[in-house]
Amino acid sequence: MQSDQRQLVAEVDELTAAGERQQQRITELTDQVQDRQADLDIANASHANAQRALAEADQMTESLEARQQDLQAQLAKLNNDAAVAAERATRRQRQLAIDIEALETQLATASDAQQAAETELAAAADNLASLEVERSDLQRQLVVAQQTASDSVAKASELELSLTGEIKALERQLADASAARTTAEGELADSKNIVADLEAERKQLSTKIAGLDQELRQLAESQAKGQDEADTEIRRLTAELDSVTTSRAEAVAELDAARQDISELQASQGQLAQQLASRDRTLDTTEQQLASLTERASWLNQIAGYHRGYAGSMKEVEFKADQIGPLLTWLSRSLDRAVTVPDLTDHDLRFIGGRLFFVNGMPVAQLAYHDRLGRLTGFCFMPNRGGQEQSPTQSRNGDDLYLVDWKDEAYQYVLIGFDRFERLQPIADKLAETYRYEA
């Protein structure tokens, strides 16, 4: 029995050491899980930062795209305004060209009129000069006639009257020529004024055309400058957009890497959790085994103590074989099952009675037999609180007691006696097979 106790103690110590090793391993795994959790928290923080950076990049991209759209709209409006202004200037230029052409036509007409007036004036001057010469000739003739009019007063008077009439006619012609000259000079002055006005208007139109040309050049320069500025701004925005796109791609890559790290950490955490769960299950199993062994050692030791105390005494049983009815009723009620007495005469065991005692607060039924040498052999059973089954297992208590115990799902059993295992094991196997609890 002491060797079995030492064996049980050694098994208990080994299971305790295994439990401590399992606990230490669980502690290490817990530390690893905490480290993995810290890494996971860092990865989650990096993930959150990457998502924020990506959101900022998206906002910046949207802002730049909106700015680019605004600039494109402004550029389109500027191009439209420039096109409208250019069209208006072109129409104005065509109208001015038409006006200039009309003015040039009027100027040519005025020049022709001026040349005609100058020609008429020259003709009138020539006529006047001719008339002056003729008047001079007539005056000379008159003087000659007056000087030489000695032939006849009548002829002289007639000639004087005739010459006077001619002189008056000439004077009238001279007056008409002077009036015509004055009119021609007035018309020439008017023509000059018209030409001057036309020339001034032409200069004004030329000035306006030059101004329009300057405005067109300024507009073209402004348009070119605006186009250059818009192109520069678009290139800058494109560069910023490319930079943002690159940053976004980098953020996406970092986000993917963070997600990969998180996946790896989660997978590693899952593996650690599985290992920890497996270790927990192993530890639970070990603890259950330890508790089961401890309980088994306890109840076997107590049953061995009872058996050793009752064997050979006057009080080996409380109910003898001839009191089997009350015995079975009492045991059945106490253990909440139908109790029968196995017939073991084939194994040289004779039923002598039974009793009820308690181990760890649980009722234990004992059916007592005498072997061929009159030694006490007991068949004991009690409720199985663990619910786990166990095949027949040998153990010893001291040098003289041999035990074979087993379990079904409801009860645990032990066959104890002073016979060796060679005789007890077949009996235990038979009982394990035939004496099972049936609900």
Cβ-in-10-Å burial (0-12, 13-18, 19+) of 137 comes to exposed
Q: Using 50, 70 and 90 to split pLDDT, how confident is the model at 244?
A: low
Instruction: Quote the pLDDT of residue 391.
Output: 94
Place of tokens 């619910």: 387
Tell me: pLDDT of 107 over 90.
no
More confident call, 29 vs 410: 410
Cβ 347 vs Cβ 417: under 8 Å = no
Summarize pLDDT for 21-52 with one digit per residue, the tens. Answer: 777 777 777 777 777 777 777 777 777 776 77
Q: Which of left, alpha, beta for 380 (phi over 0: left; psi -120 to 50: alpha)?
A: beta
Summarize pLDDT for 248-267 with one digit per residue, the tens. Answer: 777 678 778 867 877 887 78
Cα–Cα–Cα angle for 391, 394, 400, nearest 5°?
Answer: 155
Cα–Cα distance measured from residue 419 to residue 425, given in angstroms and rounded to the nearest whole number = 10
Work out the average pLDDT over 380-392. 89
Tell me: pLDDT of 401 over 80.
yes
Torsion angle in degrees (nearest 10) through CA of 325, 328, 330, 336: -140
Compute CA 295 distance to the chain's CA centroid, rounded to the nearest angstrom.
61
Cα–Cα distances (Å) from 112 to 99, 105, 117, 121, 214, in that order, read 19, 10, 8, 14, 35
**End-to-end CA distance of the chain, in Å?**
35
Q: What is the mean pLDDT of the chain?
A: 80
Instruction: Quote the pLDDT of residue 402.
Output: 97
Residue 422 one-letter amino acid? E
Cα–Cα distance measured from residue 197 to residue 186, given in angstroms and rounded to the nearest whole number = 16
* Fold classification of 53-244 (topology level): Helix Hairpins (1.10.287)
Question: Where in the chain are the domains?
Answer: 53-244, 311-434
Structure-block tokens of residue 335: 């253990």
Tell me: pLDDT of 156 over 70.
no
Which of 53-57, 185-189, 277-281, 421-425 reaches the highest mean pLDDT? 421-425
Q: Using 50, 70 and 90 to split pLDDT, how confident is the model at 221?
A: confident
Q: Using 50, 70 and 90 to split pLDDT, how confident is the model at 183?
A: confident
Cα–Cα distance measured from residue 297 to residue 288, given in angstroms and rounded to the nearest whole number = 14
Q: Which of left, alpha, beta for 38 (phi over 0: left; psi -120 to 50: alpha)?
A: alpha
Tell me: pLDDT of 323 over 80.
yes
Tell me: pLDDT of 95 over 90.
no
Helical pair 2-148 and 153-310, crossing angle rounded to 10 deg:
180
* Fold classification of 311-434 (topology level): Phosphorylase Kinase; domain 1 (3.30.200)
Instruction: Quote the pLDDT of residue 251.
Output: 66
Tell me: pLDDT of 153 over 60.
no
311-434 shares the fold of 53-244 = no
Instruction: Quote the pLDDT of residue 303.
Output: 95
Element (H, E) at 351: strand 350-359
Tell me: pLDDT of 91 over 90.
no
Cα–Cα distances (Å) from 240 to 153, 243, 338, in that order, read 123, 5, 91
